[in-house]
Structure 1
Amino acid sequence: MESKPYVLEHGTEFDKETLIQEFSNIQSELLPKVKLENHFQKDELQLIAGVDLAYWDVNDTMYGTCCIVVIDYHTKEVVEKVYSYGVITIPYIPGFLAFRELPLILEAVEKLTKLPDLYMFDGNGYLHYRHMGIATHASFFLNKPTIGVAKSYLKIQGIDFIMPENRMGAYTDIVINNEVYGRTLRTTKNVKPIFVSCGNWIDLDTSTEIVMNCINKESRLPIPVRLADLETHKMRKQLSR
């Protein structure tokens, strides 16, 4: 596990170009360690955590909350919910969202009493400009397999996704420069697809299988991500009063 995420103290002045260079260097150092293959036995998968964040502004100060919902993979029952919140010190820079989100994610993870076997993020993983979306970047701090599940498409190098057939489980791969970055997945008939990508230590077919096994009639999103998303809305409303 990596030691600590990149942190700026609240009120610290920063140069955006310097941050971009530092962040790029960190991503470049981590990328060779990404393994798009299973480092676990599927039949041993028990607990899956859904992770999401929400933000709000108060008097020009940005705040955020991270919510994690852990479910039993087999029964789909919730076994634990935790959250963290605080001031956001890293500015929003496209392609470097992980640096903004990691401090709150790790703070929430420390509150867990149940150890997830896998983390599923509301966001991208390998489907990223430099293959280092939040699901991939966070894996090095969590030391667990991760999956990215995005509601909207991140267009890279001008490449559009191909719409899958209108049936549950249909998918098309997202291929850029002859490399598969992720997958457009139709989890429910007559509903918009989602975008699945490996985070780390898992392959794309297994990621797709796990996501589909966490789909019910309530949403196109897998249960862990949907529940984490609902929790962030609830906590943002509560904390921003």
Structure 2
Amino acid sequence: MTEEQNRNLETEYIEKQLKLQKQIDFANAVHPESVKTVAGVDLAYWKEDDGEHAVCCIVVIDFLTKEIIEKKYVSEKVKVPYIPGCLAFREIPLFLKAYEKVETDVDVLFFDGNGYLHPRHMGLATHAGIVIGKSTIGIAKSYFKIGDIDFTMPELEQNSFTDIIISGEVYGRVLRTHKAVKPIFVSIGNKIDLDTATQMASALVTKDSHIPIPTRLADIMTHEVRKAEKNSV
């Protein structure tokens, strides 16, 4: 695409994000005590001779036992260019195709990435949550800086946190899931509040990893599938 086409596409995407922003639901559609199933969602990219390819993996687990219920994925060539702040438009088509394969009625989906913690509150977790009408949570391993606003590191104790506040509004939360380990960045997606998202993220962490199980498993699966897809070419 030409630079002008990219600019036009960016303008179109931003307009859509601002419209979608009005549909964000901050109320809990579910409560932790009633949740039975959760899923982790992650995407990975690689280059081939014909262009860029991506895979979207979804791993569904039992919220209480943490056992895997099902794993689904879709892999295909990427057709949408990368535009900063508009990544969801690149990933939504692939996610929806993978989500269509999921047979379980998932209560909450955890996305490896951001939701409300985004310049226009439209990270993939929020965008996808609105589209599918489900409770979604964004779990990022690194901070997506908005403007010149940095975050305050939480105390070293497990489950300590600080909120990321921009222009007086809470965009997300810095959560220390294990004592003295690198924190994660939690933000709501849709149909959930930040306290509930934090509570569920903490409940899904094990002693083996500071990342919640759903996104950790999805991340591992994307690496496995990407390797297999690349080797099959």
Fold-level match, TM-score > 0.5? Answer: yes
Match of 1:4?
none
- Check if 1:124 corresponds to 2:114: yes
Q: Which letter does structure 1 place at the counterpart of 2:205?
A: I
Give 5+ residue unaligned stretches, structure 2. none
Q: Summarize deviations over 1:146-194 as a string: whole Å, max 9, x none.
A: 0000000011121111000001100000000000000000011121100
How far apart, CA to CA, are the structure 2 residues paired with 1:111 and 1:84? 9
When structure 1 is superposed on structure 2, of 27-36 and 179-188 the one drifting more is: 27-36
Same amino acid, percent of matched pairs: 52
CA drift of 1:42 comes to 3.0
RMSD over aligned CA atoms reads 1.5
CA drift of 1:197 comes to 0.2
How far apart, CA to CA, are the structure 2 residues paired with 1:60 and 1:220? 37
CA drift of 1:113 comes to 1.1
1:1-241 correspondence runs (5 A): 15-59=5-49, 61-241=51-231
Residues 32 and 200, structure 2, Cα contact 8 Å, conserved in 1: no
Residues 31 and 196, structure 2, Cα contact 8 Å, conserved in 1: no
Q: Summarize deviations over 1:131-157 as a string: whole Å, max 9, x none.
A: 000000001222100000000001112
Q: Which letter does structure 2 place at the counterpart of 1:187?
A: T
Aligned length: 231
- 2:152 partner SS: coil
How far apart, CA to CA, are the structure 2 residues paired with 1:229 and 1:216? 16
CA drift of 1:36 comes to 1.7
When structure 1 is superposed on structure 2, of 12-21 and 208-217 the one drifting more is: 12-21
- 2:12 partner SS: helix
- After the TM superposition, list the runs of 4 or more consecutive aligned residues in structure 1 that deviate by more than 6 angstroms: 11-14
CA distance 1:151–1:15, shift in 2 (3 Å): same
TM-score after normalising by structure 2: 0.96
- 1:110 partner SS: helix
Residues 72 and 98, structure 2, Cα contact 8 Å, conserved in 1: yes
- 1:120 partner SS: strand
CA drift of 1:44 comes to 1.8
When structure 1 is superposed on structure 2, of 33-42 and 171-180 the one drifting more is: 33-42
CA drift of 1:13 comes to 10
CA distance 1:76–1:12, shift in 2 (3 Å): farther
CA drift of 1:17 comes to 0.6
Q: Which letter does structure 2 place at the counterpart of 1:208?
A: T
Q: Which letter does structure 2 place at the counterpart of 1:213?
A: A
Q: Which letter does structure 2 place at the counterpart of 1:203?
A: D
How far apart, CA to CA, are the structure 2 residues paired with 1:113 and 1:165? 41
- 1:121 partner SS: strand
- 1:126 partner SS: coil
Residues 151 and 164, structure 2, Cα contact 8 Å, conserved in 1: yes
How far apart, CA to CA, are the structure 1 residues paired with 2:20 and 2:177? 31
Give 5+ residue unaligned stretches, structure 1. 1-10
CA drift of 1:40 comes to 2.1
CA distance 1:159–1:214, shift in 2 (3 Å): same
- 1:33 partner SS: coil
